[in-house]
Amino acid sequence: MPAERGSNLDTIRLPPSERSLAAKVCTRAFFDYPMITFDWPDPNRRARYLDWLWVCAINYGFRYGVVYTTPGIDGVAVWLPPGQTHVTTWRYALVGYLQLPFFMGFKQFFTRSMKRDDLEQKMREEIIPGPHWYLWILAVDPVRQGKGVGTILMRTGLKSADAHHLPCYLETYDEKNIIFYQKQGFNLIRTVQVPDSKLSFWCFLREPHKT
């Protein structure tokens, strides 16, 4: 059944039937996100294909992790658990990403997006090679930002990690997010400049807290 719409802040598992609605939330949240505008500089392509892109990302979360939302579908969090944090091309293909080069443009895909993605994964494996939880996606609908939605979506994943005494990792491409993640107990570990670009990302690690 579709998730009940509501204004209460609570965390539920995203029903598969609501993946399209959740993808639209991600599109609105990330339309001007620096990583997205780097990979998709043409706003017309973004408007045309981002909903599809986020459906694929949510499918990835269903298959290899856990996808949280709120009863009102105010935001989306995709957590990848230990053993599933290595994001591979084969796994991308299995959840629908095979069309990505056609939608993005082959030159854009192979010369920019894949290199950036490879660098992101290299940094993650250097910083946290052992078992950990990876906050792969955190999106809050712009009309609901600043109301505690992001915090509540993170909290469920953090509790799971703490219960198993495991660290959590994430990266962000938006400098404005740094303070928010630090308030959630994450420490800024590294700032990485994407070669031949003005794009940077910030890597965060949170050690397990006692439960």
Residue 75 pairs with which residues in a beta bridge? 140
Structure-block tokens of residue 102? 């056609």
* Whether the predicted model's global pTM rises above the 0.85 cut: yes
Q: Write phi, then psi, for 169 (nearest 5 degrees).
A: -130, 150
| Residue 137 near residue 74 (C-beta atoms within 8 A) | no
Q: Give the integer Cα–Cα distance in Å for 118 and 124.
A: 10
Measured from the Cβ of residue 86, the count of other Cβ atoms closer than 10 Å reads 12
Structure-block tokens of residue 141? 């609908």
Per-residue burial over 97-109, b = 16 or more CB atoms within 10 Å of its CB, e = otherwise: beebeebbbeebb
Q: What is the pLDDT of residue 9?
A: 75
CA distances from 68 to 5, 175, 183 (A): 15, 24, 20
Q: What is the pLDDT of residue 102?
A: 78
Q: What is the pLDDT of residue 69?
A: 97
Please list the rounded mean pLDDT of every run of 10 residues in the chain (211 residues).
46 96 98 95 94 95 96 96 88 81 74 87 95 97 94 93 96 97 97 94 95 64
Domains (ranges, CATH) in the chain?
Answer: 12-113+129-164 (3.40.630.30)
Q: What is the pLDDT of residue 161?
A: 94
Q: What is the largest CA-CA distance in the chain?
A: 48
Q: What is the pLDDT of residue 2?
A: 30
